[in-house]
Amino acid sequence: MHPIPSKDPQVATSTISQPQSGAEQGLRYGLRDGACQAVTQGSGEQYLSAFALLLQASPFQLSVLSALPQLVGTVAQLLSVKVLQWFPNRKGLISAGTVGQALMWIPIVLLPLLLPQWGPWLVVGGATAYFACAHFTAPAWNSLIAGWLGQHERGAYFARRAKIIAGLSFFALCGAGWILSLWQHSTAWWGFVLVFALAGSARILSVLALSPVQDEHPTAHLEAQQGFRGFFRLGATKDFRRFLVFSGLMHASVLIAGPFFVLYLLQDIHLSYIGYGGWLATGLLGQLLALQAWGNFGDRFGNKALLSITGFAVPFLPMLYLVSTNLSFLLVVNFVGGVIWAGLGLGLQNYVFDSVSPEDRAKAIALYSTVNAVGWSMGALLGSWLVEHLPTRIEWGGVVLQPASNLPFLFCLSGVLRLLVSVSFLGSFHEARQVERAPRRQLLWELPIVKPVAQFVVWTLPKLNR
pLDDT digits (tens, 9 = 90+) for 391-445: 988 888 777 888 889 999 999 999 999 999 999 999 998 887 777 776 666 667 6
Q: Which CATH class is domain 21-391+398-451?
A: mainly alpha
CA atoms within 13 A on the CB side of 428: 15
The pLDDT, as a whole number, for residue 321 is 94
Q: Give strand pairing partners of 395.
A: 400
Phi, psi of 70 (to 5 degrees): -70, -40
Determine contact, residues 311/16, Cβ cutoff 8 Å: no
Q: Is the predicted pLDDT of residue 134 greater than 60, yes or no?
A: yes
In this predicted structure, which of 16-25, 43-52, 268-277 has the lowest mean pLDDT?
Answer: 16-25
Residue 330, burial from CB neighbour count under 10 angstroms (0-12, 13-18, 19+) = buried
- The C-alpha atoms of residue 411 and residue 405 are separated, in whole angstroms, by 11
Predicted confidence band at 20 (pLDDT cuts at 50, 70, 90)? Answer: very low
CA dihedral 404, 406, 411, 415 (to 10 degrees): 120
- pLDDT confidence of 78, banded at 50, 70, 90? confident
Element (H, E) at 249: helix 238-255
Q: Is the pLDDT of residue 155 over 70?
A: no
pLDDT surpassing 60 at residue 165? yes
Q: Average pLDDT, stretch 215-236?
A: 57
The reply to whether the predicted model has a pTM over 0.85 is no
77 Cβ contact list (under 8 Å, min separation 6) = 135, 136, 138, 139, 365, 366, 369, 370
The b/e string for 392-412 (b: 16+ C-beta within 10 A; e otherwise) is eeeeeeeeeeebebbbbbbbb
Burial of 427 (0-12, 13-18, 19+ CB in 10 A): exposed
CA distance 415 to 258: 11
pLDDT of 454 above 60 = no
pLDDT in tens, 281-303: 899 888 888 888 888 888 888 88
- What pLDDT shows up at residue 457? 47
Q: Which of 97-111, 123-137, 165-179, 224-238 has the lowest mean pLDDT?
A: 224-238
Positions of E strands within 56-190: none
Residue 440, burial from CB neighbour count under 10 angstroms (0-12, 13-18, 19+)? exposed
- As beta bridge partners, residue 400 has 395
Please give the Cα distance from 231 to 363 (Å, whole number). Answer: 8
Domain boundaries, the chain: 21-391+398-451
